[in-house]
Amino acid sequence: MYDPESRPAREGVRATTSTLPTGVGITALITAYARAQESRRRDALFVDPLAESFVVSAVGTAAGTGDALPRLGPARDDGSSALWTSLCAYLAGRTPFYDRYLVQALADGRRQVVMLGAGLDTRAFRLPLAAGTIVYEVDTPAVLDFKARVLAKHEPTSAAERVLVAIDLQEDWVGALRQAGFDSGRPTVWLVEGLLMYLTAPQADALMAAISAISAPGSVFAAEYLNRRSRMDDVPISDSGDRAVAELLTSSDQGGPGVEPEAWLSRHGWVARRRDLVEEMADLGRPVPVLFDTDRSDPLRSWLFTAALTAVGDVDEDAPTETRDSAP
Ligand SMILES: C[S@@+](CC[C@H](N)C(=O)[O-])C[C@H]1O[C@@H](n2cnc3c(N)ncnc32)[C@H](O)[C@@H]1O
């Protein structure tokens, strides 16, 4: 599995203090930036006020000009980067998909949520979670420490109980989760946003096998990944900030599961339903980001999907194993 701390943040992506998450951890901040930027729009798809607090804590208000959000690597709210405009549209555009999933999964009576690679997700505060819900947020110590420090300044409230599980997913995260109180006898709502592309196919399989082994009947799962590895030429590069993040994202992109979600999840005993980001954006009334332009040859696609557990351990060995190249 990709080691989120093994790689120094690159010039142009590095934030200003040494106590910030680095490497892939910085992607949590970039995602928060997109949510902060979206939240400022008059036609915002959602409002996540804490997202801006993470950005400001990371880079300082002084780094901004006027009312603009301070710049963070490629992230800027002045429209001058095609890469950032695309990434921001993607990161903000996938948010309502996961919001709907979580709200529905809890409305159906589930009360245990696990976010793997939780990053700076604030759904525990932002969404109306029922009392009695427990949300386990799993990420590296660096990311969760930064998150806790910023949240401590704002003291947001949640009807849910949040439990932070600071561990690298390369380690015994299942043991840490159980130790934190996770109950494998209760149906779980798994939320794995923006993580799977950082894993190789065997790592993604190992992660899904571990998830399946501790998922009670009634558990549900949501995640997304790309149909192919991202490339430097997927989008125009404006400057060194763009180049740095494009290099970070493309070099961290390990390809994910490597087959379509329905086939991948079926092997692990789940029934998945996929939604292309392009469909999601159309329903949201937003243009398709350049990065996902379907008119290009070999277009990049983001597959968002939800899944329901059929039977734990009932692995379908005959499940189709088509490669991503056979994607529609
Ligand atoms: C793109 S961010 C997404 C964060 C969050 N899910 C969101 O959408 O706001 C990816 C997150 O996965 C975490 N991550 C990546 N590899 C990890 C690993 N091996 N162990 C724990 N966390 C990891 C990073 O630290 C980062 O917070």
Instruction: Return the best residue to mutate from 139, 146, 165, 252 for the ligand 1 pocket (most ligand atoms within 8 A of CB).
Output: 139
Tell me how far apart the alpha carbons of residues 32 and 112 are, in angstroms, rounded to a whole number: 24
Residue 119 beta carbon below 6 angstroms from any ligand 1 atom: yes
291 C-alpha vs ligand 1 centroid, how far in Å? Answer: 21
Q: Which two tokens stand for residue 151?
A: 């949240």
pLDDT band at 70 (very low <50, low <70, confident <90, very high): confident
310 C-alpha vs ligand 1 centroid, how far in Å? Answer: 27
Residue 252 DSSP class: H
Whether 170 and 198 have beta carbons less than 8 Å apart is answered as no
7 C-alpha vs ligand 1 centroid, how far in Å? Answer: 14
- Which string of DSSP letters, residue by residue, matches 139-166? E-HHHHHHHHHHHHHH----SSEEEEEE
Whether 190 and 219 have beta carbons less than 8 Å apart is answered as yes
185 C-alpha vs ligand 1 centroid, how far in Å? Answer: 26
Pair type for strands 112-116 and 161-166:
unpaired
Q: Around Cβ 223, how many Cβ atoms within 10 Å? A: 30
Whether 292 and 89 have beta carbons less than 8 Å apart is answered as no
* Range from 9-18, 68-77, 203-212, 306-315 carrying the lowest mean pLDDT: 9-18
User: What is the reported pLDDT for 240?
Assistant: 83
Query: What's the CA angle centered on 307, arms 33 and 25, to 5 degrees?
Result: 30
Q: Which residue, judged by its Cα, is nearest atom 16 of ligand 1?
A: 4
Minimal CA–CA distance to 74: which of 245, 217, 236? 245
Class of domain 92-236+253-326: alpha beta
pLDDT band at 311 (very low <50, low <70, confident <90, very high): low
Above 70 in pLDDT, residue 133?
Answer: yes
Q: Which residue, judged by its Cα, is nearest atom 11 of ligand 1?
A: 117
pLDDT band at 317 (very low <50, low <70, confident <90, very high): very low
Above 90 in pLDDT, residue 284?
Answer: yes
- For the stretch 218-255, pLDDT in tens is 999 999 999 999 888 888 888 887 888 788 888 888 99
